[in-house]
Amino acid sequence: MSLTRENTTWQSANGTWSIGFYEFQETGYGEDWDPEWDVEYSDDAFWFASTGHRNPDEAYAAYTRENPNPGGTTVLKYSAENRDEIARLDAMAQTLGQKRAALQKELDRAYRRRSFTRR
């Protein structure tokens, strides 16, 4: 099942395009709970980000390959007016990348330990 999620597509200072989907927590419970709409979003962290695309459509496609219904997106072209917000978004995407790299290292280490252990 695909779910609409809050996201932003932006153009970085180097001209490439990125997309980021904001972290969220489910807020509803009970029989009226809706997993798509009963959520609160964080504005300071992404749960998905893809960077370095040639245009906004490629950035959008990076997400829709696995999650076909992202809903709409806010698009920010690089400009002096958007510079600070784009720097913030770039930093959030970089932080997510660092978290994923650290997690992958841990998974790789755990896999290697398990792969060479006989039972």
* pLDDT at residue 1 greater than cutoff 80: no
- Where residue 119 falls among pLDDT bands split at 50, 70, 90? low
* pLDDT at residue 33 greater than cutoff 90: no
Do 16 and 10 form a contact (C-beta atoms < 8 A)?
A: no
Q: 67 Cβ partners below 8 Å, 6+ apart? A: 2, 3, 5, 48
The most confident of the ranges 16-20, 68-72, 105-109, 115-119 is 16-20
- Per-residue pLDDT tens for 50-59? 999 999 999 9
Supply the pTM of this predicted model.
0.79
Q: Which of 28, 19, 23 is nearest to 42 (CA)?
A: 23
